[in-house]
Amino acid sequence: MSDARPIGVFDSGVGGLTVIAALTRILPHEDIVYFGDTARVPYGTKSKETVTRFSVENIEFLMRKNVKLVIVACNTASSLSLDFLKRCFRVPILGVIDPGAKCAVSSTRNNRVGIIGTSATISSGAYDKAIKKINPRISVFGQSCPLFVPLAEEGWFNKSFTKDIAAFYLKPLKDRMIDTLILGCTHYPLMRDVIQAVMGKNVLLVDSAKEVAKEARIILDSSGLLKESHGVGRHCFFVSDEPGRFVKTARLFLRKRITCARKAV
């Protein structure tokens, strides 16, 4: 069986492009439709009700593009709204929480796992619940890192102040002697080098974007929804606000220029 319909991905802004980068590596033949809600970013400071309403509207847009699978690339929306979204739509919907949690559980050696993310993601306890559902003996420690998002979008990875900010945020997790750290925001893979330098080489970093792409492949394969093609998939990008800044920032995430971003109507 083969299904040529695209994969749908949405995020509150540009961070979900790390999921696109991972999908491109793991499912290079698949077509993808991306929606970034740039007019209403960030989601991390909004209520559960507001995030859920926005998420429903985002999926409704993707459904009009005839997608076969929806990936909720936003950690905040995955934390607060995923169960409701799965009840609302018939298309398979995959969030970034469970794949990252599974990888962390299978990777930790001392049963001490850290999570960094937005304030909403950390306070929701979604990663904690997902991890303890698999292995209740694991100790989980969360830390919000709100400045990582603007630093990533500016491309300020090697600035001295970036390293200082990372050291400040991550010190409580180092003090907890974690051996595994979940990058619980789709912006954070761009900060991987500085985070690794602060945490040390013995701490494994779990990239939720990579893990959700791997999970998407499993779901599509088991459901007979993979696209049978040897060509490179087409990627279409839509945003809810002016696409100029999105195109500029996307180069940091995808390491290539995109020209087809359009404002959703």
**Between vectors from CA 41 to CA 96 and to CA 92, what angle results, nearest 5°?**
35
DSSP secondary structure letters along 103-134: HHHHH-SSSEEEEEE-HHHHHHTHHHHHHHHH
Cβ 127 vs Cβ 101: under 8 Å: yes
HSE-CB at 45 with a 13 A cutoff on CA atoms is 6
Q: Work out the number of other CB atoms within 10 angstroms of the CB of residue 203.
A: 18
Cβ 152 vs Cβ 191: under 8 Å: yes
Whether 260 is catalytic is no
Helices (H) and strands (E) in the chain, counts: 11, 10
The rounded distance, in Å, linking the Cα atoms of 244 and 150 is 17
> Helix (H, G, I), strand (E, B), or coil: what is residue 231?
coil
Q: Which two tokens stand for residue 100?
A: 């990252």
User: Which one is catalytic: 103, 185, 236, 260?
Assistant: 185
The DSSP bridge partners found for residue 34 are: 9, 237
Whether 74 is catalytic is yes
The rounded distance, in Å, linking the Cα atoms of 84 and 68 is 18
Catalytic residues: 74, 185
